[in-house]
A and B are shown apart, each in its own frame.
Chain A
Amino acid sequence: MFISKSMTSKVITTHPRATLLEARDLLKAHNIRHLPVLGDDGRLAGIITDRDIRSALPAAFYRDDCPPPEGADFTQVTVGDVMTPDPMAISPQDTIEDALLQIQKMRVGAFPVVDDDGFLKGIISVRDLLRAFINVLGIEEPGTLLGIVVEEKVGQLKKIVDAITEENISFGSILVSRHWEADKRAVFAYLLTNSVGRIKRKLKELGFKLLDPMEWAMDRLPRHE
Chain B
Amino acid sequence: MKRTGLLYDERFLKHLTGANHPEVPERLTAIYDGIRTRGLLDHLQVFPAQSAPRMWIETVHDRDYVDRFETACQDGSRTFESPDNQMCAETFEVALLAVGGILDVADRIVAGEIDNAFCAVRPPGHHAEKAKAMGFCYFNNVAVAATYLQTQWLIERVAIIDFDVHHGNGTQAIFEDDPTVFYYSIHQHPSFAYPGTGRAFEDGVQRGVGYTCNTTVLPGQGDDFYREAVEKDLRPAMTRFRPQVIIVSTGFDAHADDDMADVALSTAGYVWMIEEIMKLADTFADGKLISVLEGGYCLERLPELAADHVQALLQI
Contacts and interface: CB of A to CB of B under 8 A. Distances in A.
A213 B166 contact: no
Contacts of A38: none
A197 B22 CA distance: 8
Give the interface size class of chain A: 20 to 34
A193 B194 contact: yes
Contacts of A145: 191-192
A143 B194 contact: yes
Contacts of B193: 144
Contact of A214 (B195, B220, B260): B220
Given A143-B194, A145-B192, A201-B259, A214 B136 contact: no
Interface string A195-225: 1111011000000000011100000000000
A105 B134 CA distance: 42
B84 A194 contact: yes
Interface in A110-148: 139-145
Interface string B1-44: 00000000000000000001110000000000000000000000
Contact of B262 (A141, A195, A213): A213
B195 A142 contact: yes
Contact of A144 (B194, B220, B259): B194
B218 A198 contact: no
Contacts of A170: 83
A167 interface: yes
B219 A213 contact: yes
B221 to A, nearest CB: 9
Interface in A132-182: 139-145, 167-170
Chain B residues touching A, majority SS: loop
B66 to A, nearest CB: 21
Contacts of B262: 213
Contact of B192 (A167, A168, A213): A213
A57 B127 CA distance: 51
Given A142-B195, A143-B194, A143-B195, A195 B218 contact: no
Given A139-B196, A144-B193, A194-B194, A214 B219 contact: yes
Contacts of A198: 20, 22
A195 B21 contact: yes
B170 to A, nearest CB: 10
B195 A167 contact: no
A82 to B, nearest CB: 35
Given A139-B196, A214-B219, A194 B260 contact: yes
B135 interface: yes
A142 B194 contact: yes
A2 to B, nearest CB: 27
A194 B259 contact: no
Interface of B: 20-22, 82-84, 127, 134-136, 166, 169, 191-197, 218-220, 259-260, 262, 297
Q: Which 5 pairs across A and B sit closest by C-beta, in order of nearness?
A: A142-B195, A194-B135, A194-B194, A144-B194, A197-B259
Interface of A: 139-145, 167-170, 192-198, 200-201, 212-214
Given A142-B195, A192-B82, 4 more contacts: A144-B195, A194-B166, A213-B191, A213-B192
10 contacts: A141-B196, A142-B127, A142-B197, A167-B20, A170-B83, A194-B194, A195-B84, A197-B297, A213-B191, A214-B220
